[in-house]
Structure 1
């Protein structure tokens, strides 16, 4: 009888211990373990992170980081770089599953950068790749040669838009994606339009960059593009002030310089980007034109204008002229206005 009681006690203790163990396992795996109050939280895990670094990243987000690690080890989870979204109230099992297979793309946007370093800086704020690795990828000589690009034209490869990337994308990942997007952008329709106006895609982009700088009004850009195409067909110099400004900035090696007025002395600067001094298109884009500017060139307005100047009666737009006499009258009005504003540079 005594032995039976001992055996029963042992069984009861075993059941109790087993129950405690099962409860502990259950709570470790399936009890909510988030500490944030928002509906969700983003975790950015570097590509080279280990479990210790991951724990540090999760420390402000979880109630019990050690319990998370226990579950992660039981589930044989290997740390993976990327962007992951944790939902409020998730348990450790759900968190591990999310970190294992829930790498979420981020939206990467860029527009109107004037140089590759500027583009690299913009992109490095949105994905894991740093600006130095991006610049190295952008300027790799073998890559530029393969794409028939050079220092002047290489910015034109990057079509500004909003794209989805995994946050842990490398510089090469970004560059290769941009190659594909460029090739996709220059479809048969756009290539035919470029051919019809006698320009190659890089030349279209170079001209579009000038159009971009001349007007912020998307609806006016096809008319401005038409002016420049008329001048090119007649063999006239483009005489575009934005190209002079770019030449000055390039000479100063400072694209943050603010130049609000082009002076007559600026027109003599010896630079292939100075379209007052050198005929034809600039050797490359003076900024990153957006798609509306590129399409403005490809769908330029057909007219007889050869000149334009800022319209001080309708700010943001321009007055157009077919001949120099009319242009000089329009220009005189603009000069009087700009002098009245005391804008000397």
Structure 2
């Protein structure tokens, strides 16, 4: 049997997690990079299947969550973006979903563009008046460069994370930044209860830690600026919902988002989440501060000062 090697740090200390039938990950015990073993014939086939299931079905809303959860996420992203945005910056967001972050950028007066692969979401974004480049980000030939590139929860889905970072490098002006967020493989949830971690999901082909993202960024030419973790109120709730589905014997792939959707449509459920958010706030802030938050952010800079660009 061939010994597996981490694609990020080359360690041979690889742990195997059999999360459920047809959902297996190889996880590096050194940099905590996790790679899903293909459920179908290849990684490309896994990618195509998840895109079709989640983002090309007009009857499914993969972004539906309780308002308390969405508001907390958006507030955090806006505060982070504000630290790097400058007047007259040209901005692109990769995979913007239904455009909530783009809407904030536009309201602040920034020239913003979206790159979206989904035909369904592209139409919806264009109907809202956004400038959208349609297609798979890693395979497109861009005619413009941007001061800031935002990639929120995209890299865990793509077939080649390195290609994702290399393409982002190409479309960024010298001195510009990439702000990226993704589930954290070193989160307390995954470290304590890996088989219940929401990070292990059929649509997640990869899961990263701060260290593995930094190493991958450096391989693609970026300069590391900053990294940190964030613990959204949904972090532990997703673990509890996964446990509940296991107890009920529900198919996790077919019921993905079921309880998030319930929380989004139930006023009483949203109030309970707000209460949980308030009570758990101090604990979650400590968790994030020590690097155990369920979401990892990294800010990378392209070498150069951008003069004359």
TM-score bracket relative to the smaller structure? under 0.3
TM-score computed with the length of structure 2 as normaliser: 0.23
Bigger fraction of residues in helix:
1
Bigger fraction of residues in strand:
2
